Amino acid sequence: MRPRVVINVAMSLDGKLSTRERKQVKISGKEDFERVDKLKAKSDAIMVGIGTVLADDPSLTIKSDELKHKRLEKGLEENPVRVVVDSAARIPLTSSLLYKGKGRRVIAVSRRADPQKVIELKKIVTVIEGGETEVDLARLLDELGAMGVHQLMVEGGGTLISGLFAARLVDEIYTFIGNLIIGGKDAPTLADGEGFVRENDFSRLTLLEATQLGKGILLHWKVSPQ
């Protein structure tokens, strides 16, 4: 069965995920950081696009020792499965998420990926192949479901999130809105990509909760069925 897809992003009041140079920005504070760590610990897998790996080099591990212990007590791996959507297998072999922290890693590639790089990757991670020029996200989710992933948390960035919306694969969204303006028409936003033109293609949301958190606000949304 296809996993439940939960997006989590932190954005500035003007809806930017980072600067126009794609430099990571501290948008939230301690309270939100702890919430995100708990959401990670409750998820079976965490997914990012290759753009985020190249820009931020995240490890995508759970930071709290207590949360890691709780997962181990439940018979789970210390960290959720870490998944990178990377059509052309551009991920550097030195990326933090490939060697930091215990747990399984999945790199999803398309037929465009260099076969030699795929062979290298297969020595250290699970490689899922699908899609001609870009990763077939619906198929990837089916394969993750078959691996036992029930809840998939998506950390961004905006291009991957837009692809997930286009394929109608998103169930829930958490947006933390921080107390800053980043600006810039080219700075990444929650859903980049081509953008939707016809009203029927817009995703409609239901607000489940709005909570003041630290110096910002956390919005929890459900994606309405189409």
Ligand X SMILES: NC(=O)c1ccc[n+]([C@@H]2O[C@H](COP(=O)([O-])OP(=O)(O)OC[C@H]3O[C@@H](n4cnc5c(N)ncnc54)[C@H](OP(=O)(O)O)[C@@H]3O)[C@@H](O)[C@H]2O)c1
Q: Does 50 bind ligand X (CB under 6 A)?
A: yes
75 or 116: CB nearest ligand X: 116
Give the three-state DSSP class for 74.
Answer: coil
Residues 188-207, one symbol each (x = binds ligand X by CB under 6 A, - = not), give x---x---------------
79 or 87: CB nearest ligand X: 87
Backbone phi, psi, residue 163, to 5°: -60, -40
Residues 148-167, one symbol each (x = binds ligand X by CB under 6 A, - = not), give -------xxxxxx--x----
Helix intervals (H) in the chain: 30-42, 50-56, 65-73, 96-99, 115-122, 137-146, 158-166
CB of 18 to ligand X, least distance (A): 3
Q: SS3 string of 76-133?
A: CCCCCEEEEECCCCCCCCCCHHHHCCCCCEEEEECCCCCHHHHHHHHCCCEEEECCCC
Q: Does 88 bind ligand X (CB under 6 A)?
A: yes
Q: Does 12 bind ligand X (CB under 6 A)?
A: no
Q: Does 2 bind ligand X (CB under 6 A)?
A: no
Q: Do residues 22 and 49 lie in contact, with contact meaning Cβ atoms separated by under 8 Å?
A: no
Footprint of ligand X (CB under 6 A): 9-10, 17-18, 22, 24, 27, 48-52, 55-56, 85-88, 90, 134-135, 137, 155-160, 163, 188, 192
